[in-house]
Amino acid sequence: METRAKDLQSVLDWMALQDLAAEYGQAIDAGHDTGDWSRWINVFTPQVTADYTRFRPGEQPFTVAREQLVEFAKQSLRGFARVQHATATSVRIQFKGPTQAEVMAYAEVAHYFLLGGVQQEWTIIARYTHQVEKTAEGWRIRAVLLDPVHYRGNLVGLDLVQGRRLV
């Protein structure tokens, strides 16, 4: 009976981690669209390490309170009218113990903006690698690494996310 309960817990944890990978993207989209970032804050542990250096050259990974990560997201997305994360349903999960795991998921993230009154799109195909831990509130991300695989569309979008502004 104990083995069966442990197997059930493994399945429940696996399902929760699949949901967490999808929630990361959907919650940032909702925060950007509505200004309510509470869903996105909730995917993280109280302190989170973010590594976006592979598409933001010259920057370093940083560790902040999860509420501070919202400010980084707001600044990165301020040039876009809308953002849409489409996270792959095939998520790789490697358990490193009962309360630690690594979750890797691919995402296609479309960013929409206006240029000269014409809607533009810049899309990044990326691999997210999350270091996660099981807390009293459930599974949460304690570290995130964004690894770009491919860009397409109007590359002005890459300039915008890297902090450059249109005149």
**Res 136 pLDDT > 90:** yes
- The dotted CATH code for 2-161 is 3.10.450.50
pLDDT of residue 3: 55
Whole-number pLDDT of residue 91 = 85
Distance between start and end Cα atoms, the chain:
66
- pLDDT of 58 reads 85
Predicted local confidence at residue 1, as pLDDT: 45
Contacts of 15 (CB under 8 A, 6+ apart): none
Q: Is the pLDDT of residue 158 over 90?
A: no
pTM of the model: 0.90
What is the percentage of the chain residues whose pLDDT exceeds 70? 95
The residue written with tokens 């770009």 in the block is 148
Which DSSP letter does residue 61 get?
-
Q: How far is CA 135 from CA 31, 43, 103, 116, 150, in A?
A: 23, 11, 16, 47, 34
What's the pLDDT tens digit per position in 74-121?
999 999 999 999 988 778 999 999 999 999 999 999 999 998 899 999
Lowest-confidence region among 62-76, 136-150, 153-167: 153-167
The pLDDT value given to residue 5: 55
| pLDDT at position 4 | 55
